[in-house]
Structure 1
Amino acid sequence: MEQYKEIAPRLVGLREGIGWTVAEMADLLGLPEDKVAGYESGTVEIPVGYMLDVSRLCRVDLTTLISGREPHLKSYSVVRKDEGYAVDRRKDYDYKSLGYKFAGREMEPFLITVPPKPEEEMVETAHRGQEFMYVLEGRLEVRLGGESIVVEPGDSLYFSSETPHALRGMDGKEVKFLDVIL
């Protein structure tokens, strides 16, 4: 089962627990009502940016929203190699949360793997906040506001997440990079 089908009821429960209607939630997030209803239906993928916006608006931890479990560490958190919490929020990317154990995070660090794909299959997304990417392996094409930028191992990119962006691995190879969303 796709993880968004498990997250959707938590979105509904959180919204209803606060006492907001779908229309009120949509208004507070600056989104169309049908988009919020779609995410809550469990029938469409839920962007991590949307989950981050909801978690901030409702003052709940993103880990709680995604996993249904509360993070508990407050002074530091170690996540060992290959132990990141899998955030299966998109079919085309592999997200591993690297900060999921730390309560009260002010940023969301991820290890992301993006496969190669044709340019026409790139899907743009946008969300509130800022984003920092640091490429570890492979060459990554980032389409950012209509401009194509190629970043390689050791390169970094910092941008407003409100700018529509899409990603793909180049040269027929997947790309691994650190992604921090603020």
Structure 2
Amino acid sequence: MDEQIKQIAERVRGLRDALGLGIDEMAESCGLASAQYAAIESGECDLSVSSLQKIARHFDVPLDVLMFGEEPKMNAYFLTRRGAGVSVERTKAYKYESLASGFRNRIADPFIVTVEPKPEETPVYFNTHAGQEFNLVIEGRLLLNINGKELILNPGDSLYFNSALSHGMKALDGKTVRFLAVVMQ
């Protein structure tokens, strides 16, 4: 996991270097705090997909290039076989498997997200990003907190929401949760 985060950090730093921008300029142009952006480049902290998405969209770079180091090539269709999507494990608790990494100019980013259980007292990590999000639970039970409202989703349950609202999730019952997440802007 740490190696993947460091590789993402190197790609983000490489983008900034290619653009000839300083850390403060890069952060400001992407709507991120300088400290938040510097933490992304350091590779020593958790990376949010939404922060990477902000950077990618601002500079018109495919999210896959930053996350996976691969340039999308297809523009008619892209097939992802079960379990064969390009994946990145951001933290020990979250793994993202891209389901459309090879499709160019897509308007949504679909992922299979795997959330590992944490000790009950572990706080929920919250995130916000532009756009909308759709989540469909495949297995396990998921606690999803949106703007202070706690919702429990069971297999087959789905939720569509404004992702600019503060949201966070947690696996329940000490079991792994897998869900389909589609992030749109």
Scaled by the length of structure 2, the TM-score of the pair is: 0.91
In structure 2, which of residues 168, 173, 176 is the aligned counterpart of residue 166 of structure 1?
A: 168
Supply the AA of the counterpart residue of 2:88.
Answer: V
Q: Deviations over 1:14-40 (max 9, x none)?
A: 122223221122212222111111111
Asked if structure 1 preserves the Cα contact closer than 8 Å seen for 2:144 and 2:167, the reply is yes
Aligned residue number for residue 156 of structure 2? 154
Q: Which moved more, 1:51-60 or 1:119-128?
A: 119-128
Q: Which moved more, 1:18-27 or 1:145-154?
A: 18-27
Aligned residue number for residue 44 of structure 1? 45
Identity %: 40
Supply the AA of the counterpart residue of 1:167.
Answer: M
Aligned length: 182
Aligned residue number for residue 126 of structure 2? 124
Q: Which runs of 4+ in 1 moved over 4 A?
A: none
Q: Deviations over 1:81-122 (max 9, x none)?
A: 110111112220121111111111211100011123315332
Alpha-carbon distance change, 120 to 43 in structure 1, aligned in 2, over 3 angstroms: closer
> Match of 2:7, SS?
helix
Q: Deviations over 1:37-86 (max 9, x none)?
A: 11112221221111111111111111111222212111001100110111
Q: Which moved more, 1:106-115 or 1:117-126?
A: 117-126
> Match of 1:23, SS?
helix
Aligned residue number for residue 96 of structure 2? 95
Question: Which blocks of at least 5 consecutive residues in structure 2 are unaligned?
Answer: none
Measured in 2, the distance between the counterparts of 1:125 and 1:178 equals 17
> Match of 1:8, SS?
helix
Measured in 2, the distance between the counterparts of 1:110 and 1:154 equals 16
Measured in 2, the distance between the counterparts of 1:18 and 1:78 equals 33
RMSD: 1.5
> Match of 2:127, SS?
coil
Aligned residue number for residue 83 of structure 2? 82
Asked if structure 1 preserves the Cα contact closer than 8 Å seen for 2:96 and 2:112, the reply is yes
Measured in 2, the distance between the counterparts of 1:9 and 1:177 equals 28
Q: Which moved more, 1:25-34 or 1:78-87?
A: 25-34
Aligned residue number for residue 20 of structure 1? 21
